[in-house]
């Protein structure tokens, strides 16, 4: 059993990779077989990929406030004249796609939450062809992300109402960075460094959903969280290390989350939700002004 990132990295040495350590721990905890556990994860993978494809076709949210940006990004990518490497922008497009499907009450897989579901699916679908990942390696990607996510969830939390957006998109981005490192052939320690680098940059990110909806700014934060996961992974693969150890960075996120005023914890009482346009949109959607 691992409870910290340090334990996770140490224990992974006895397994082919972090993903297999996670599978072994899941088997011990649940009594399920390796095949059952990997099949369950495979089903999650299928939902994630389907959500990416659905969103790219162009969808509109239940409220009509958001939608169509994944399709716009797809057309921009297809024109072939982008500033960023296409892999980064594909991850951005895919993340937007998943969260647009989420906002229309479509089917998604929470990773770790629904509001942050775009990051892991978005990055995976962006790199899986380029890195030649088999289906089993794509399932491994999710187990690697889940292993680091478990430590983050237990030490810092993953609910925006508890810890702000750092707990949601911050956690998702860190999990994706760790999985990207592993998928590119990096070590468990490099995955851990990618987690630390990512969370350190997300500390304090508030949860300020306009009208309390998981749309503005959530969808675009997933997009940028996906891009950051790729950059953090490259940094860690280059040998860049976090001076503050990963477990201390995670504990810091938990502490910062508890110190955040309630207005920045998914109450729609602060941040962009209380901007003039944010307030206007709330009145437009629910027919009444905010308190």
Partner 1 sequence: MAEEVRFHSVFDIIGPVMVGPSSSHTAGAARIGKVVRSIFGEEPETVTIHLYESFAKTYRGHGTDVALVAGLLGMSPADPQLPDSLKIAYDRGIKVAFVPESTQVDHPNTAKIVLTKGDRTLTVTGVSIGGGNIQISEINGLKISLQMGTPTFITVHRDVPGMIAKATDIMAAAHVNIGTMTVTRTAKGEKAIMILEVDERHPELKAQLQAIPDVESVTYFD
What residues are paired with 265 via a beta bridge? Answer: 207
Q: With binding defined as CB under 8 A, does residue 157 bind partner 1?
A: yes
Q: Which of these ranges, 23-31, 78-86, 196-204, 220-228, lies near partner 1 under the rule CB under 8 A? A: 23-31
Q: What's the distance, CA 179 to chain centroid?
A: 11
How does DSSP classify residue 242? -
Q: With binding defined as CB under 8 A, does residue 127 bind partner 1?
A: no
Give the one residue of 7, 10, 43, 53 binding partner 1; rule: CB under 8 A: 43
Alpha-carbon gap, residue 215 to 220, rounded angstroms: 8
Residue 67 to residues 38, 202, 205, 249, Cα–Cα distance (Å): 33, 25, 23, 34
Residue 260, phi then psi, degrees to nearest 5? -65, 135
Q: With binding defined as CB under 8 A, does residue 22 bind partner 1?
A: yes
Q: With binding defined as CB under 8 A, does residue 107 bind partner 1?
A: yes
Whichever of 46 and 85 has its CB closer to partner 1, that residue is 46
Binding positions for partner 1, 61-80, rule CB under 8 A: 62
Q: What angle do CA 57, 59, 63 make, to 5 degrees?
A: 175
Binding positions for partner 1, 227-256, rule CB under 8 A: 251, 254
Give the one residue of 105, 134, 239, 276 binding partner 1; rule: CB under 8 A: 105
Q: What's the distance, CA 146 to chain centroid?
A: 11
Q: With binding defined as CB under 8 A, does residue 142 bind partner 1?
A: yes
Q: With binding defined as CB under 8 A, does residue 20 bind partner 1?
A: no
Give the one residue of 125, 215, 233, 235 binding partner 1; rule: CB under 8 A: 215
Decide: 3 and 154 in contact? Cβ < 8 Å: yes
Structure-token pair, residue 124: 């995976």
Residue partners of 164: CB distance under 8 A and separation at least 6: 204, 205, 206, 207, 256, 257, 260, 264, 265, 266
Whichever of 88 and 115 has its CB closer to partner 1, that residue is 115
Q: With binding defined as CB under 8 A, does residue 95 bind partner 1?
A: no
The site string for partner 1 over 175-214 (x = CB under 8 A, - otherwise) reads x---------------------------------x-xxxx
Q: With binding defined as CB under 8 A, does residue 16 bind partner 1?
A: no
Q: How far is the CB of 136 from partner 1 (least distance, A)?
A: 15
Whichever of 79 and 105 has its CB closer to partner 1, that residue is 105
Comparing CA positions, the residue from 190, 34, 56, 191 lying closest to residue 118 is 56
Comparing CA positions, the residue from 70, 171, 176, 197 lying closest to residue 120 is 176
Decide: 178 and 120 in contact? Cβ < 8 Å: no
Alpha-carbon gap, residue 242 to 195, rounded angstroms: 9
Interface contacts to partner 1, rule CB under 8 A: 3, 22, 25-26, 29-31, 37, 40-41, 43-44, 47, 62, 101-115, 117, 120, 142-143, 145-147, 149-150, 153-155, 157-162, 167, 175, 209, 211-215, 251, 254, 262, 265-269, 285-286
């Amino acid at each position: 059993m691992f409870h910290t990132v340090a334990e996770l990295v140490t224990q992974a040495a006895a397994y082919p990779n972090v993903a297999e350590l996670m599978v072994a721990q899941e088997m011990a905890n649940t009594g399920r077989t390796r095949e059952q556990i990997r099949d369950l994860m495979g089903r999650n993978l299928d939902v994630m990929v389907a959500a990416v494809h659905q969103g790219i076709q162009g969808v509109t949210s239940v409220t009509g406030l958001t939608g169509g940006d994944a399709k716009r990004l797809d057309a921009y990518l297809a024109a072939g004249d982008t500033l960023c490497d296409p892999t980064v922008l594909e991850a951005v497009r895919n993340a937007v796609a998943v969260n647009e499907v989420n906002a229309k009450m479509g089917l998604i897989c929470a990773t770790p939450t629904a509001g942050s579901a775009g990051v892991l699916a978005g990055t995976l679908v962006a790199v899986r062809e380029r890195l030649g990942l088999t289906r089993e390696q794509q399932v491994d990607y999710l187990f690697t992300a889940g292993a680091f996510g478990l430590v983050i969830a237990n030490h810092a939390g993953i609910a925006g109402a508890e810890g702000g957006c750092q707990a949601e998109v911050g956690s998702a981005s860190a999990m994706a960075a760790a999985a990207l490192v592993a998928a590119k052939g990096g070590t468990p320690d490099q995955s851990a460094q990618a987690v630390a680098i990512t969370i350190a940059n997300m500390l304090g990110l508030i949860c300020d959903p306009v009208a309390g909806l998981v749309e503005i700014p959530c969808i675009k934060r997933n997009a940028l969280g996906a891009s950051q996961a790729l950059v953090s992974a490259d940094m860690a693969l280059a040998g860049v290390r976090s001076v503050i150890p990963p477990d201390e960075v995670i504990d810091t996120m938990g502490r910062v989350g508890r110190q955040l005023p309630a207005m920045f914890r998914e109450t729609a009482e602060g941040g962009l939700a209380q901007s003039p346009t944010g307030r206007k949109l709330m009145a437009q959607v629910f027919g009444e002004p905010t308190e």
